[in-house]
Structure 1
């Protein structure tokens, strides 16, 4: 079982840098940050951009994989975004994973003044976003025309460090998005169902895992499986025992990776860093 941790891009770099260093020292396999213009209850607080944050993190770490959790077409176009991704892949010396998702309604779309999109429209747009990014990152020159995005002789020299491109981690809960994950992703990540019932959440995760197995078989590919433990009604770093229980449940359901969030002082993901330190010392070494 591999483990990852999300460090929200809410702190000035002098305060955030030690967290990224510690994530590697603690033994996490991957570290992530949110790719939003603003996020939910934290929208009025400090917030920094994901790509520069990950670039800075790449400069102060050596081994840990880094990624977006997750980028979406809500405010990004594949052509300029591909340039940023190639740069980040280069600076990190091939340690970057692109986490992508369809995105939902909220600040990221409202701040641009765009009309609301239906779930079906978001999924269709997401499919084009992933497909075009895949083309741009694999080829030297891309011309592509879709309903939502286009590219005209878009160059991508010198190409990604990781060949044929950096891995995609595709967020998907619905059947259409799962097909995108199975077709283009090296990893699939789920947040599970929306519920305040702890047992119902795990039951829903099990059902989603079964559905993705079907999508994966249909695509004829093997894809790693990631679970966002902190979408559950109980924060995964509440205690060492809570974390161990969640990891055990995820492993039984066939997940290869779990992702948690760095404890915050209050609000969402509120917890104690001492618990994180205990997990790093007592649990992570046994997970490998």
Structure 2
């Protein structure tokens, strides 16, 4: 009986012994969660047990390239506020890290910028105190001393533009540059108006004679470019400037509240 048991145990022991010899430490990333700002980078490192592995041996990817990109050597470059998942594929195995790009500035809550939606839809999303309403506009009170008012302008087709009327102090003007730069790619400057944009929204930041220091949100310049037939970056900025000015002029509600 003992001999039969030993006969059965030998193959099992051999398998266990072999598997222990073949076991290799798993490959890991130096951090499974990373937090940084939009103008920073992070160099990911690969480890195999206590030994380091050359980062270039992995295939790297970012799930949201608008938030940040990663190169073949594992260097992550942040672009704007948001979240993305970084994956490294090594020898057929995938390991990942969650990257959060956090803000420097919390200047204010951005306005509703879903162009084309109804006034009722904007009112359901906007949580600030409503001061005034007309047939083609809404005026809200800013939630802090940096933001005086929020103004929404409408056409029959729906929301045309959103406008932040900001305090014209030097500190707020300076903070605004960083606030928008970490949320939208910088698109250029034309006559003191600074433009930031993504695929859906363009934000123009500057002074309007009738209002003061403002940030105007309107549909992406892709539409403006097609309408204006602009080809060069100079023509594009001229078209954006015109849209910024015209949008400001379309505001019909009083701001003195």
Higher relative contact order (CA 8 A, sep 6+): 1
Structure of higher CA gyration radius: 2
Fold conserved between structures, TM > 0.5: no
Bigger fraction of residues in strand: 2
TM normalised by structure 2 equals 0.29
TM normalised by structure 1 equals 0.26
